[in-house]
Structure formats: structure tokens, C-alpha cells
Chains A and B, each alone.
Chain A
């Protein structure tokens, strides 16, 4: 089994790349990154492994935070609390996890498994269950695969521990865990339903931490050399440049616990005179060019700062910002009819057939 120790530079790049893969949501990885810097300063190290090296009967713990990013800005995020969510699950199921894994590589949750892994001294599998960020628990590859949606542990920094022992579907996992999270103060560290090595190998989305690090390294290197960071991303990922423009308007509304809204852009350079609008539900969902759907979930729509190449989130995007929109290819698991049921445009209320920008 090959384990790769990550350098702090890899982690810095991971934070930048995970934010790009957040496709507008998932929360900025800045606070998890600060935790990792502190852990590395204290001598902790984390290692990455391939899913292929898991034994079929190994157990893998999937780590994620749930909650409102705004609460995270005040309570910050604590590495020991994440580790406690994992330990609570191990006690509950009476197994020891051979490795940890991300639920969601996009945004802050792309870095959080490493915070737990540093304390628990376990490797992190180079695999996640979204390949990006999505707003709900049933929008994962393991949900598409019909794997067991329980048990789930939810932990608060003050010592509370809750277990969602049994629920019939992933939508119920989402509903019950969300209630617990709200009572905690709208933030909870969770260990998602445990997976076997065989399940991870079959249903995981592989190589996503490596992908995030590569994207982050490309952006950081381009920034250092004063090269175009967006061209740098497209040189390491088979993505597509969709649009360059500036933000004309952001209309946001909170509905059913989500931040929904519309971002309107006005074209620059080759896109002068052409308008783009992007609908979002935390993450960017559908991008329309001159009122025709151009890109849609599960294709990854990434809105990037045109100068720095860093991602721009739907919570913080603002009037006047210069942005570039690119698309990255979606994980194959979401392209099946069942996958599209979970995360296609209709899952977000858009009555349009999925068509990938990469099919054109």
C-alpha cells in the first residue's frame, strides 16, 4: 500500500483547489487551512492513499461539517471536534476505521477530513462522494449507489454527541441530521454513514483530492509567475472556458434553508454584448447565455476571479467583480439516469434535459 505524505504546500494548494471545486458553495476553506497550518506547526502530518489499496472489508469514515457558513465564521472550526465525530462513530459501530474520506471535496469540507486525520493518525482516501460541493446529503455518489443512509454521528464542540441510528432514505438522513444541527446552533461536525472498502472502491469518486491539489498548484504557480491563472487551471484539467464578464447584479433569497438566487453578468473581451445569468442554490446550478441554457449540473460551473483565478462564492460574489466562468467535467456516476435523478437540473427544479457542455 502506498501512502503519500502531504506537505504543507500541498495543503495550501488543496485549499485553493477545493474552493474552485466548490462551484460557488461549500464554504471558503480558509479556516480549515488555518487549522492545518497550526497542526503542521505542532508536528502533525497527514497521508493520502488510493482507494484501490483498501481491503474490501476495511471500514472508512466519511467526515464533513454541516451547517451555516456564517456560524462557522464566528465559532470557527475545530479539528478535535471533527476527530470526536469519527471516534463517536467507531464506538457506535464497534469498528476501527482504516482510513478517512471526504464527503464533499468542494469547499471547506475538502480539507476537513485531514483535520480529523491529523489527530487520529489515519490516512485519508483520495476519494470523495460528490466530486464538487452539493447542498444536500442525498446528492452523493453513495446515495446514487443506494448504499445504507445510516448511521450518522453529529457532534458539537461543547461535548454533545447525537446519533442518527436508522432512517429509510438519504433524504431522511438530511432532514433528521439538519434538525440536530440547527439545535446545536446551526453547525455540527459529522461522521457520515460508514463505508466498507468495497463500497468506496465501487461508488467513490476517485482522485479528487489529487485533482484539487493540482488545480491549486496551477493557480498558485501562475500567481507567482504573473501568468494567467485561469489558463493554468485549463492546462491541468480538461475544462472549458465559457465566459468572461463582470457582475451586474446578485439577487439572493433564503428559501427552505438554502441560499437561492441569480447572478447576472455582463460580457467583457470576446463576450462583449452577450449576457450570462447563473442560477444558484448555494452552488452554481444552471448558466444561461443570452437566455439559452449553456451549462448545468452535474457539469461543474466554476466562477473565478479573473485576476487571481481563485473561486468566487455565491455568498460573497459582489457587484462589479471581474469574473471568468469555466466548466469542469462531471463525475461519471452522476451521468446515469439514476445519477441525474439525484443531481440533474430537475433535482433543483429546472425543467430542462441535461446536456453537458462537453458533449458539444
Chain B
């Protein structure tokens, strides 16, 4: 199996080649405004030793922070028509009701609420008002809206009203790009609808970005299917990812953690990813990041995305250092590190300068930091270690000592011994862990649904089978599927032994 993993970050575009389970080569190139050039440069650099020449590549997996950055920075977002099926319920809380006003202004193209939706047990709540949907679609056309987000009450249990409404809208609005909230899972109408609205707002950017990825791969001469990595450490085929860009939101952090697991050979460990500005701490379970199961805010919008549970602190290779008293971060010089750091002729003392002065890193001009004595350097390292230790302790979920994998360009800040940690593992290619994580990504399927009048065992088995089918539909090899999460929650106040079951399975990408 030969795969290329690419991480398109805010600063660098990293690329790695993995062959039969080994990292053959890892490179970095600056990210470009047009995306394509940065990817082409990194692929050119990856192939410069001839490792790619005349060899079959099984897949190119790209991870990117492009979509989440667009939401956070309020850029490149499309106007969205919001169509909710659920009247007369929910009228007092229309779509966009809990969005930050600036983002709502930018994205809200129009709101339509019509009768429809289901009950918790699958009974229809109200029949779908098809005439009202068609009328709404006409008004969308009149307003020039093409990106449509459809949500419906209890659609994770029965998506039929959303799907029918999508057909009706598509028949009226030419070239409509439609997001159904049921494709984004999870009970919780507002949060699921918010995910759908964000997804629809990214429709144009997603089309253009994935086209840029495809162009870069095509121009590089590599013939291989393109996959986009997802928040949960798995991949989707490019055509599917184009439809659901929100699923790629947190893939950068996830890829680092998955890469750390792969490079270290551990599947259960804490991971600390030290970048230039921030340090992310998370926990690996069965080789995947433990997910946050509560509400996750993206750009101020509440959602229920499958996202890794991460703690971010302001510590990194570019963190400002002051000496009296010793203080590290949270401010960082960021991407200006190689200009502003003292060892590079700048004026700001950073953790990287301390590492250069103590021979931990061989970078810049050691003469410029010769005034920093060993005791001072030790104090700064001790302070950085204290910050990391505190964050690691907060994220630990078990009392005993656990192994810790340190990755990222600033991993030198993590000492070999830390309280509460059985051992600290530094790995080769750790600075490209995110691209490695992309290269090794798998395909997943999930089921989150309420089952009624079934034994617990039967309900879990039913959920398992739905999740398996979804994974295979997403491109997984059925023979390699394994369940990595299974949780069941009996539902208070609901009759008939209702139980909500969530099952997630993963498998390797099926050979094309």
C-alpha cells in the first residue's frame, strides 16, 4: 500500500509518502493563497528524490483547515436559504436564532418554515406541506439563492420529509446545492440545523477548494483517487467530502493525533501536539482521538460535530519568553518565528531561542543567544513543562500513569519525564504527524438512533448493521470493519423501553 498524505495548514503544506507501513519521505512547503501551488510544490519536493517515479499510488489523502478558517474568519461564505420542516412546533426559534449576529447577517439568505417532521417513535408529527415547500423554492429562486439547508424534526430517525423536500426544491431551483440535516446525524434540532446551515454556507468554497486539490494532483502527474480527511480521523472520497465540508472541520488536530498513534505504534495514550503558537492535548483510545460529546462551538455557532476532545493552551515553539519573572506564552510570534526570534536576528525572545542556546535545536545563529546561561534556560524549560503537565493532567481520564506521545514542531518543549506520565515518547517525523495521520486515515460509518421495544442486544446489533452499511457506502472494505465506539442510553420518560444507540465502525479504504 502506497499512499501520500498532505496537510494543508495555515502556514505550511506538509506531504509524506507512506509505503508498506513506513514513512519513506516527509517534506514541508509554504501554503499558497491559491492552495494548488503549495500542494504542487510539496509534491514536487516529495518526488525530488525519485521515490514517486513510475510507481502506483493507492491514494492521496488531504487534510485541511480551510473550511473551519472560512467560518472563523467570515470569508468565502455563500448565502443560504434555510428551510425547516416542523411547523407548528419550533416557530419561536427560527433557523439562525442562536448565531452570532455578524455571521447570521452574512449567511442568512432567507428563512422558510413549513409543516412536517416526525415524532420520537417515527410517527409523523405533521404531514409534509409539499405545496408550501414548492412555494418556498419559488421564492428562493426569486432571491437568487442556490445553496439550501433543509432540516426537519427527528430527521435522524426518519429522513423522508427532508429527502422529499429536497426533490421538490431541486425541481424548482436550477443547480440547487442542497444539504439535508439528516446527513449530519445527531438528535438536537438547532445544533443539527446549524451544522446544515454552515455546510450550505461552504458550498461554493468546498466546490472550488476540492477542484483546486484535484487540479494539483492532476498537474503533478500522480494518478490516484483523492480522499479528504474528516474530523474523526477517517476519510471520505472527494465527491462525498465536497458535499459535506463541515465534516472536515477539525481534521488537522485529529490527523496529528492519528499520526502520533501510527508513528509510535501505540493506540492508547495521551498526545501532546506542540505547534508554533498552541499546544493541543488529547487522548487516543483504540488509535482514535476521544471525542467531545457535548456541544462544540464553531465560529460562535453551536453544533454537535464529531470532534476530538482537545485542550489548547498558549504554548509553542514561537511563544514569547520573559525572564524576570520567568513567563512563557500565551503570545507567540507565530509564522514570523524565523524573522522575529533573537537567534534569527529579531528582537523577541522565544522558546526556540532558548532551545538554540541550550543546543536542543540547531537553527539560526547560536552566537546571538550566547548570553542565555544554562540556569536561565532550565528555568524556561521547567515553566514550559509545568504548563504542559497541567494541561495533560486536566485531560487525563484515568488515575494511573499513562504514556505520552509528543509531536509537532515544538515537541522539544516536552521533557522526557513528567509527573503522571509513564514515559514520554518522541517519534521520528513527529513534526509531520498531521500529514502522516492523513495518509493512514480509514473510512467510518455511524448510527445514532432511537430503538423501541427491542432488547438492548438487538438494538445494538441493529445499530451496528446500519453503521456497517454506511461505512461500506462511504468506500470501506467490508472485510476490515471494526467497531470502535458503542454506547447506549435509555431514554427517560419515553415509553416502550426506548434506547438511543450510537455505534461507530471503521475500516480500511477499499481497493479501487
The residues of A with any CB-CB pair to B shorter than 8 Å are 31, 34-35, 38, 67-71, 73-80, 157-159, 181-182, 185-186, 246, 252-255, 257-259, 266, 282, 315-316, 318-320, 322
Contacts and interface: CB of A to CB of B under 8 A. Distances in A.
Contact of A74 (B92, B123, B153, B290): B153
Nearest to B488: A252
Given A74-B187, A77-B93, 18 more contacts: A31-B93, A34-B98, A38-B97, A67-B493, A70-B120, A74-B120, A74-B188, A75-B125, A158-B89, A158-B125, A182-B494, A186-B494, A253-B490, A257-B495, A282-B492, A315-B492, A316-B294, A320-B396
A259 B488 CA distance: 13
B457 interface: no
A158 B489 CA distance: 29
Contacts, number: 112
Interface in B76-128: 86, 88-93, 97-98, 117, 119-120, 123, 125-126
A261 B494 CA distance: 16
A253 B315 CA distance: 42
Interface in B463-512: 489-495, 497-500
B189 to A, nearest CB: 5
B89 A76 contact: yes
A258 B119 contact: no
**Majority SS of interface residues in chain A?**
mixed
B493 A186 contact: yes
Q: Counting chain B CB atoms within 10 Å of each CB, which of A80, A258, A316, A320 scores highest?
A: A320
Contacts of B120: 68, 70-71, 74, 185-186
Interface in B382-419: 394-397, 399
A73 B89 contact: no
A158 B88 contact: yes
B374 to A, nearest CB: 35
A67 B494 CA distance: 8
Nearest to A253: B490
Contacts of B269: none
A69 B126 contact: no
A73 B491 contact: no
Contacts of A76: 89-90, 92-93, 189-190
Given A185-B125, A254-B490, A318-B294, A78 B497 contact: no
B455 interface: no
A257 B492 contact: yes
A42 to B, nearest CB: 10
A71 B493 CA distance: 10
Given A67-B493, A68-B494, A73-B187, A322 B89 contact: no
Nearest to B492: A259
A36 to B, nearest CB: 10
Contact of B93 (A38, A158, A258, A319): A38
Contacts of A255: 490
B161 to A, nearest CB: 13
Contacts of B494: 68, 70-71, 182, 186, 254, 257
Nearest to A314: B492
Nearest to A31: B93
